[in-house]
Amino acid sequence: MSEQAEQQQMEQQVEPQQAEPQQAEPQKAERKTNTRTLAGRVTSNKMQKTVTVLIERKVKHPVYGKYVVHSKKYHAHTEAQFNEGDLVEIQEGRPVSKTKAWYVSRLLEASKGV
């Protein structure tokens, strides 16, 4: 009996396992990127196809705990015409020039200029 049991175990080990052929999935060149988006006011539109956008953000002071406004200006590329004071959304993209790596994605609020 023990010889028969051993032979059966050997036969099970020797028999090749038939696996289903795996289909190779084509690798997609698609990269998932999270582009940064910011909202700010247009402060200058004097350049061609470029606007300057002022981004203000509130940061808590590490020692005093008071909220301080930090601001930064970005040059953003645009084909459309925007007026000073417009609230726009900009998103990061590939660099267009030395100082421009942002694009105006949409107008959030038009300026209330007179």
Q: Residue 105's closest CA among 93, 86, 88?
A: 88
**Would you state the structure tokens that stand for residue 63, as one six-digit string?**
């020692």
pLDDT in tens, 59-73: 999 999 999 999 999
Greatest CA span in the chain, whole angstroms? Answer: 103
**Total number of domains constituting the chain:** 1
Is pTM beyond 0.85 here?
Answer: no
| Cα(66)–Cα(112) distance, integer angstroms | 31
Question: Domain of 52: which CATH number?
Answer: 2.40.50.140
Of the listed ranges 14-23, 26-35, 37-46, 49-58, the one predicted with least confidence: 14-23
79 in a structural domain: yes
**Domain boundaries, position 102:** 36-114
26 in a structural domain: no
pLDDT in tens, 4-32: 767 766 666 655 555 555 555 556 566 66
11 in a structural domain: no
